Homo-oligomer: A and B are copies of this chain.
């Protein structure tokens, strides 16, 4: 199945997201595949068997968020220059979100921009990173602080890649699927609750719906001036949790799961979510063995940490909450510190 993406507000960009077995890809010009040491042994041969190009360069980087930095970007760019890729060349991202973000960033930078194709190999990157054009790297000041908005020319989502994905990482991807449903689509939420996502056809439907929903949001607001911030449901809390645990305890999707539970508690407190809906969301997260609780050591420190997030321009903290029920959303930036702390206290 194909989800056509049409970003009318962003230079009228159009590309297709194909959710199916990897098709045969043909390129007229030189290409480079960017992948990592974990993915290459699992899936590189499969990709190489499915493509044709006058020259194929493979750049294999180390696996891990800690290598998502400018140094790795420069290493990749050097390889591209050494292999004389030109303005008509294409980069292919084969891997998860880190590979996608860095490949897109390199594509945006190389000779001021060449095409890139995404082949996401994790559920999280299939549903999340494959739409939206956020590329970039981390630095000592925080995550994704240096980068570009840059869209791929095509995305190929092959659910077969997920067969080698560790169960924890699969679940972390589900967290983002649930996030999309809770914020934007009650029917989709009910569908996930009702169906068995381990069924390949159901999984494809879930990926498709998540991608469609995200595309709608991004089309309305590519640069995150408004509604795109809703995609950060659970993230305001998750970023603090990831930071406090130095990105070692939880996968991103796991921290988001906890963050959604925290956001829901706040929503219940403010009368923006019923207690029973909150329980339903938590139960669905728990069904995929996602964590739903976290022990806050120092409440004041946790609260202060919100301000370090780059999304908190001019010192107001944005909380993304349901707006009365599942499938609706609101961005609140005027919640009193005491209310937030009262809710957080339940996690102390």
Residues of A within 8 A of B (CB): 9-11, 29, 70, 74, 77, 81, 86-88, 108-113, 134-136, 139, 141, 144-149, 223, 310-311, 313-314
Contacts and interface: CB of A to CB of B under 8 A. Distances in A.
Kindly report how many copies of this chain are found in the complex they form together.
2
A109 B146 contact: yes
Which 3 A-B pairs rank lowest in CB-CB distance, beginning with the nearest? Answer: A81-B141, A86-B313, A112-B147
A141 B81 CA distance: 7
Given A112-B136, A310-B86, A310-B111, A77 B10 contact: no
A109 B10 contact: no
A146 B110 contact: yes
A149 B145 CA distance: 19
A110 to B, nearest CB: 7
Contacts of A139: 77, 81
Q: Which of A87, A134, A139, A144: most chain B Cβ within 10 A?
A: A87
Contacts of A314: 29, 86, 88
A102 B232 CA distance: 31
B313 A113 contact: no
A189 to B, nearest CB: 30
